[in-house]
């Protein structure tokens, strides 16, 4: 297991290095697709850090992503701060919030947790609208910077790489081991003396941190921030679909899911502009029925079969 | 990608016409890109104001043989995409228009946020962007940053000013007192307008005896309206969006709100608003307005109904069409597809449009309606800047037909 782990890391590093050259060769259109793919890659990988081993499906990505985008908008527009200030503050705020939410809800399990996270983005959006309305007053939140797509792409790539490395380290730590046991049987985990709540909260907080960081990085690309747009429930679903398509059980699973999905999604959007939501629903069904463990799961299954035949 | 079938039809028709007149020539094409919502929260507005005008203009231009670009007749080929009311999607599609489709010109997006999000990209490729459905107080900063961006529908302040002027006039006439009941939708534009109104109304000596907001998408507005009624103010102002402008009118009718001045912002100018409430909303004020007696406007509205099968809205529709006319005249005037030359042409010249003669001063056109009023089934402009034909404001008198 150990040598293959290093191999995996080496491959990932190689991939990241190759990916860094994309902006030098792609034209504006393909670069903008690459930015989208990199954004989902960072989000899906960080999502899988928590949801992969624990099997808790979190739909909170949109909420944390929105906090990142909104804080950048508000701090730059309302308080004239430089871009890097919210870039540092937003993830911390989101992480604190994730921690509080984790402490309050991760005792719930299964479907209760899913429903809570689904409602979270909506709740935060309304809360922010209320604050804006009663205390800040809004003049439209402008994020005007000189950052271009390639800069945003490189920042997102760096985030994705860090998330990956972190995931790799966690997998090899006591914490990762604990999470896998929790995912398999939480009762057993508790019985063998694992502090399940702490383990889950730590990972959920990490996920929140990175989702907000990605939201903050992407904000200059949008230039104009409205709560209704940054807190999008669709984003949460897309992240889940992409991670599941690749397979959330392996760290590199989301990578396998995100890239084909982004390209297919783009193609669908261009060919069938009015049916894209239908496609999203179909993709969900297909993944659940045909690829319950994602592409990665299928590959491993095939490998196992081949080995059996050889034996 | 939906390439307009309409284009083919019009092209065929025009070609047939040319062939008959014996002047058949290979039809050159000028590509025009348009991205706006067909789905999502802003789709409701875009299918009323944005899309039908693009359709109308393309069809009209192609029917008369296309654009005359430096002596060559060029048919317009329209490439349109749905941004799903999602800025990320919009940005990606804008790149697609520029890089993959390599369109010659673009129609500016629908919605303030989308115009600002697309401005850096279109700016980089040099496309002139004549924004219509974009209202902000940051025009100076934005046009300085994006010299290809033009604004045509007015500022947030001009918007609130129009309403303030009416309130001041009616106070002087003794129709209303100092008390105003004001509500707003708790969303970007609604908050921005309410915030500005609080300053301007207070400066003018008014007292906001009722000042409440409601979240976007609130299904039941009856508590809001009951509160406004109980305040006893004779003037009611709502900085509202499409669904709630309707909801508020409905509640005002139910509660029989006793006011002399009733204003609701976006979508009051939609023909559907008049259709929904008929004579009950007579003398309701709203954002926008137009001068239906103007012959150019009347001809435009007739063509709009004829070609798209829909009645044009009484506000930004005419501005949207005028923006396309500006693009048309600039391309023909400059006589080239070169974007930089066309952009400079827009800055330097004046344009004869359905909105009258339009010119840009630092990329901003100061010809627009800010307040209109439903008067006997027609929504007429009562306050505006640089426009002619404003009619006197009438007082609201009950909600019975």
Write down the residue that tokens 């309050």 correspond to.
A104
Task: Identify which of A196-200, A234-238, B57-61 has the greatest average pLDDT.
Answer: B57-61
**CB A123: neighbour CB atoms within 10 A?**
12
Question: For position B187, what pLDDT does the model report?
Answer: 76
3-state SS, residue B396 = coil
Nearest one of B60, B85, B64 to B325, comparing CA atoms: B60
Name the B residues in 1-30 with CB < 8 Å from any A CB: 1-2
Average pLDDT of every residue of chain B: 89
Task: Tell me the per-residue pLDDT of B95-138, one tens digit each, with 9 for 90 and over.
Answer: 999 988 999 999 999 988 899 889 988 998 999 999 998 888 88
Could you tell me if residue B174 is inside a domain?
yes
Could you tell me if residue A270 is inside a domain?
no
User: Is B148 found in the same domain as B49?
Assistant: yes
3-state SS, residue A93 = helix
What is the domain count for chain A?
A: 1
Mean pLDDT throughout B315-333? 96
- Cα-based distances in Å from A96 to A52, A74, A85, B352, B395: 22, 19, 17, 58, 54
Q: Comparing A163-177, B185-199, B221-235, which segment has the lowest mean pLDDT?
A: B185-199
Q: Are A259 and B24 in contact (CB under 8 A)?
A: no
Beta strand B235-239 with B179-185: parallel, antiparallel or unpaired? Answer: parallel
Could you tell me if residue B392 is inside a domain?
no
Could you tell me if residue A281 is inside a domain?
no
- Cα-based distances in Å from B295 to B148, B239, B298, B302, B354: 31, 31, 5, 10, 9
User: Is B174 found in the same domain as B148?
Assistant: no
Q: Is the ipTM of this complex over 0.85?
A: no
User: Is B23 found in the same domain as B39?
Assistant: yes
Which residue blocks in A247-293 are alpha helix, DSSP H? Answer: 253-271, 276-290
Question: For position A287, what pLDDT does the model report?
Answer: 82
Q: Is A78 exposed, middle or buried (0-12, 13-18, 19+ CB in 10 A)?
A: middle
H or E segment to which residue B98 belongs: none
Question: For position B8, what pLDDT does the model report?
Answer: 52
pLDDT exceeds 80 at position A276? no
Q: Comparing A21-30, B49-58, B64-73, B317-326, which segment has the lowest mean pLDDT?
A: A21-30
Question: For position B378, what pLDDT does the model report?
Answer: 94
Question: For position B307, what pLDDT does the model report?
Answer: 95
Write down the residue that tokens 């990320």 correspond to.
B88
User: Is B278 found in the same domain as B252?
Assistant: yes
3-state SS, residue B29 = strand
User: Is B16 found in the same domain as B143?
Assistant: yes
Nearest 10 degrees: Cα torsion B206, B212, B213, B218? -130
Contact A133 B1 (CB under 8 A): no
Task: Tell me the per-residue pLDDT of B337-396, one tens digit each, with 9 for 90 and over.
Answer: 999 999 999 999 999 999 999 999 999 999 999 999 999 999 999 999 999 999 999 999
Q: Comparing A201-205, A241-245, B279-283, which segment has the lowest mean pLDDT?
A: A241-245
Average pLDDT of every residue of chain A: 87
The C-alpha of A183 sits at a distance from chain B's nearest C-alpha, in angstroms, of 34
Confidence of residue A213 (pLDDT cuts 50, 70, 90): very high
Percent of chain B with pLDDT over 70: 93
3-state SS, residue B197 = helix
Percent of chain A with pLDDT over 90: 33
User: Is B208 found in the same domain as B278?
Assistant: yes
User: Is B381 found in the same domain as B351?
Assistant: no
Question: For position A209, what pLDDT does the model report?
Answer: 96
Phi, psi of B127 (to 5 degrees): -70, 130
Q: Are B177 and B209 in contact (CB under 8 A)?
A: no
Mean pLDDT throughout B6-31? 54
Sign of CA dihedral A67, B213, B161, B276: positive
Confidence of residue A137 (pLDDT cuts 50, 70, 90): low
Mean pLDDT throughout B202-225? 90
Sign of CA dihedral B297, B299, B300, B301: positive
Nearest one of B262, B207, B200, B267 to B229, comparing CA atoms: B262
Question: For position B261, what pLDDT does the model report?
Answer: 95
Could you tell me if residue B396 is inside a domain?
no
* CATH number reported for the structural domain that contains residue B249 in this entry: 3.40.50.2300
- Give the tokens for residue A56: 């808790």
User: Is B377 found in the same domain as B349?
Assistant: no
The C-alpha of B68 sits at a distance from chain A's nearest C-alpha, in angstroms, of 30
DSSP output for A191-249: HTT--HHHHHHHHHHHHHHHHHHHHHHHHHHH-EE-HHHHS-HHHHHHHHHHHHHH-TT
Could you tell me if residue A278 is inside a domain?
no
Contacts of A28 in chain B (CB under 8 A): 95, 98-99, 121, 124
Mean pLDDT throughout A182-199? 88
* Angle, CA of A130, A132 and A138, to the nearest 5°: 140
Q: Which of B39, B87, B195, B208 is most worth mutating to test chain A (most A CB atoms within 10 A of its CB)? A: B87
Beta strand B235-239 with B351-353: parallel, antiparallel or unpaired? Answer: unpaired
Task: Identify which of A265-274, B34-43, B182-191, B224-233 has the greatest average pLDDT.
Answer: B224-233
A-to-B residue pairs, Cβ atoms closer than 8 angstroms: 117
What is the domain count for chain B?
A: 2
Contacts of A129 in chain B (CB under 8 A): 186-187, 191, 215-216
pLDDT exceeds 80 at position A114? yes
Beta strand B368-375 with B149-151: parallel, antiparallel or unpaired? Answer: unpaired
Q: Comparing A26-30, A269-273, B209-213, which segment has the lowest mean pLDDT?
A: A269-273
Q: Are B373 and B394 in contact (CB under 8 A)?
A: yes
Could you tell me if residue B360 is inside a domain?
yes
Confidence of residue B16 (pLDDT cuts 50, 70, 90): very low
Contact A273 B82 (CB under 8 A): yes
**Domain membership of residue A218 as a residue range:** 2-232
User: Is B325 found in the same domain as B251?
Assistant: no
Interface check B163 vs A, CB under 8 A: no
Confidence of residue B252 (pLDDT cuts 50, 70, 90): very high
H or E segment to which residue B214 belongs: strand B207-214
Mean pLDDT throughout A5-29? 88
Interface check B218 vs A, CB under 8 A: no
pLDDT exceeds 50 at position B303? yes
Nearest one of A258, A227, A241, A236 to A68, comparing CA atoms: A227
Q: Comparing A154-158, A164-168, A254-258, B214-218, which segment has the lowest mean pLDDT?
A: B214-218
pLDDT exceeds 70 at position B18? no
pLDDT exceeds 80 at position A301? yes
Question: For position B2, what pLDDT does the model report?
Answer: 45
Could you tell me if residue A125 is inside a domain?
yes
- Give the tokens for residue B206: 């008014």
CA A101 to chain CA centroid, Å, is 17
User: Is B139 found in the same domain as B165?
Assistant: no
User: Is B375 found in the same domain as B227?
Assistant: yes
User: Is B139 found in the same domain as B53?
Assistant: yes
Contact B82 A266 (CB under 8 A): no
Phi, psi of B267 (to 5 degrees): 85, -10
**Domain membership of residue B210 as a residue range:** 156-290+370-385
Interface check B200 vs A, CB under 8 A: no
Could you tell me if residue A39 is inside a domain?
yes
Confidence of residue B238 (pLDDT cuts 50, 70, 90): very high
Q: Comparing A196-200, B272-276, B281-285, B294-298, which segment has the lowest mean pLDDT?
A: A196-200
Residue of A nearest to B92 (CA): A32
């Amino acid at each position: 297991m150990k040598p293959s782990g290093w191999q995996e890391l080496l491959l990932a590093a190689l991939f990241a290095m190759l990916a860094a050259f994309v902006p030098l060769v792609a034209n504006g259109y393909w670069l903008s697709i690459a930015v989208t793919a990199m954004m989902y890659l960072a989000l899906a990988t960080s999502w899988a850090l928590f949801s992969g081993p624990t099997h808790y499906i979190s739909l909170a990505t949109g909420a944390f992503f929105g906090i990142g985008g909104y804080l950048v908008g508000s701090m730059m527009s309302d308080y004239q701060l430089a871009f890097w200030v919210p870039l540092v503050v937003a993830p911390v705020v989101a992480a604190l919030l994730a921690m509080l939410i984790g402490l309050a809800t991760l005792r719930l399990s299964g479907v209760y947790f899913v429903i809570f996270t689904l409602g979270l983005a909506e709740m935060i959006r309304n809360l922010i609208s209320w604050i804006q309305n009663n205390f800040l007053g809004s003049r439209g939140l402008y994020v005007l910077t000189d950052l271009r797509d390639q800069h945003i792409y490189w920042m997102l790539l760096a985030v994705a790489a860090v998330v990956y490395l972190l995931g790799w380290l966690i997998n090899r730590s006591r914490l990762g081991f604990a999470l896998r046991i929790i995912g398999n049987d939480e009762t057993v985990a508790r019985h063998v003396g694992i502090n399940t709540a702490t383990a889950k909260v730590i990972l959920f907080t990490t996920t929140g941190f990175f989702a907000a960081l990605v939201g903050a990085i992407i904000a200059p690309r949008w230039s104009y921030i409205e709560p209704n747009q940054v807190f999008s429930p669709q984003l949460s679903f897309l992240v889940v679909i992409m991670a599941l398509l690749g397979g959330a059980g392996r760290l590199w699973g989301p990578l396998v899911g995100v890239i084909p999905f982004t390209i297919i999604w783009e193609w669908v959007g261009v060919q069938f502009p009015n049916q894209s939501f239908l496609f999203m629903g179909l993709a969900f069904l297909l993944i659940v029925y045909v690829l319950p463990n994602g592409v990665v799961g299928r590959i491993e299954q095939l490998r196992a079969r081949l080995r059996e035949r050889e034996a | 990608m939906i390439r307009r079938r309409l284009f083919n039809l019009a092209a065929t028709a025009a070609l047939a016409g040319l062939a008959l007149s014996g002047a058949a020539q290979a039809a050159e094409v000028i590509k025009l890109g348009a991205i706006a919502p067909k789905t999502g929260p802003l789709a409701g507005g875009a299918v009323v104001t944005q899309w039908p005008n693009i359709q109308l203009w393309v069809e009209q231009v192609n029917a008369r043989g296309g654009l005359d670009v430096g002596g060559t007749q060029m048919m317009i080929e329209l490439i349109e995409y749905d941004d799903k009311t999602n800025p990320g999607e919009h940005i990606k599609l804008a790149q697609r228009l520029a890089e993959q489709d390599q369109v010659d010109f673009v129609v500016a997006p629908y919605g303030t946020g989308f115009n600002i999000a697309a401005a850096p990209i279109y700016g980089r490729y040099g496309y002139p962007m004549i924004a219509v459905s974009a209202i902000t107080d940051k025009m100076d900063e934005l046009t300085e940053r994006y010299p290809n961006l033009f604004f045509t529908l007015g500022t947030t302040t001009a918007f609130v000013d129009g309403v303030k002027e009416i309130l001041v006039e009616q106070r002087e006439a003794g129709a209303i007192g100092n008390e105003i009941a004001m509500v707003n939708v708790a969303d970007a534009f609604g908050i921005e307008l309410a915030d500005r109104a609080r300053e301007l109304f207070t400066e003018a000596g008014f007292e906001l005896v009722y000042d409440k907001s409601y979240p976007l998408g609130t299904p039941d507005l009856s508590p809001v309206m009951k509160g406004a009624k109980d305040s006893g103010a004779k003037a009611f102002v709502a900085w509202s969006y499409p669904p709630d402008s309707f909801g508020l009118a409905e509640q005002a009718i139910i509660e029989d709100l006793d006011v002399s001045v009733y204003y609701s912002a976006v979508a009051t100018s939609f023909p559907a608003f008049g259709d929904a409430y008929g004579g009950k909303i007579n003398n309701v004020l709203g954002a926008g307005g137009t001068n239906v007696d103007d012959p150019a406007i009347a001809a435009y509205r007739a063509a709009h109904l004829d070609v798209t099968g829909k009645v044009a809205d009484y506000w930004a529709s005419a501005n949207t069409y005028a923006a396309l006319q500006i693009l048309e005249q600039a391309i023909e005037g400059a006589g080239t597809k070169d974007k930089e030359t066309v952009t400079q042409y827009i800055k330097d010249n004046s344009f004869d449009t359905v909105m009258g003669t339009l010119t840009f001063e630092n990329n901003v056109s100061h010809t627009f309606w800010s307040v209109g009023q439903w008067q006997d089934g027609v929504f007429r402009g009562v306050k505006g800047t640089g426009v002619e034909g404003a009619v006197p404001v009438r007082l609201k008198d009950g909600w019975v037909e």
